[in-house]
Structure 1
Amino acid sequence: MEISVKCSVSNCKYYSNLECTAEAIEVNCDDTSMLASDSRETCCDTFKPVDEGDERPRK
């Protein structure tokens, strides 16, 4: 089963046409409580900045 994850972080290594192309995605709370009230209190720990010369994964 293929899952589509929307993403708008264009400087991420896994970004491609408004989607995340990472094989696995890790999302955590901004603090250590493991509880979030809304999406603003979460973060994508899969994010890796695009380095010069890196090629983004293609779909």
Structure 2
Amino acid sequence: MQQIEWLDEVIKRLVSFKSDILTGKVIVESAYFDTSSRVETKSSIENENIRLDIDYVEPK
């Protein structure tokens, strides 16, 4: 359950961040988003990744 709670917090923060962008509280300078393709491992477990990196400034 901790993973779901953590993910819920991440989603809440992203929604709040989106609102800050829309209202001009922050300005995105650069961003990167990537998802990996499925990779089979020796243990037959599929590993996937989502990466998000956002550089932003807060105007004075």
Instruction: Report the TM-score, using the length of structure 1 for normalisation.
Output: 0.26
Q: Which structure: greater helix fraction?
A: 2
Instruction: Report the TM-score, using the length of structure 2 for normalisation.
Output: 0.26
Q: Highest relative contact order (Cα 8 Å, sep 6+), 1 or 2?
A: 1
Q: Which structure: greater strand fraction?
A: 2
